[in-house]
Amino acid sequence: MDRNLIFLPVLVQVALTLFMFIRLGAVKSRAMRLGEVDERRRALHKDAWPDYVLKVANNIDNQFETPVLFYVLSFMAWANDGIDWLLLSLCWGFVGTRLAHAYIHVGANLVALRRKVFTAGVLILVLLAALDLRPFLGL
């Protein structure tokens, strides 16, 4: 198997993060244009922005939490030549949970559903970590 295939889900995760930054710029511009921003507080206080801006900003924060572990685990697998179909499938599964999480978060923001998707992503990370340990355990 081509070990460089691991970079496809990594690039999709990076693209999601960049998309959210672009989306944030768009919703902030809209809020400014509509006069929905407390100009005196906007530089230092998140509550100066309307909720639809905060949802996107909070989602960007989320893109630098568990995805950082995904990046590390992906690069470890690549460096140790540990890429197989199971690991690659888990990587795509993780990215799928991140896409779903972002969609829920910036959309209806159903917290119970968002938590389930987040938990699924964390469980996938645990499995990825276990697979990354194989070379160190002689498996």
> Low-confidence residues of the chain, pLDDT below 50?
none
Provide the domain limits for residue 95: 3-137
Domain at 132, CATH number: 1.20.120
Find all residues with CB under 8 Å of 51, minimum gap 6, and list them: none
Report yes or no: 40 and 33 within 8 Å, Cβ to Cβ: no
Phi-psi region of 35 (alpha: psi -120 to 50; beta: other; left: phi over 0): left
SS3 32: helix
Rounded-to-integer distance, Cα 85 and Cα 6, Å: 10
For 95, counting Cβ atoms within 10 Å of its Cβ (0-12 exposed, 13-18 middle, 19+ buried), the class is: buried
Domain count, the chain: 1
pLDDT in tens, 33-52: 999 999 899 888 888 999 99
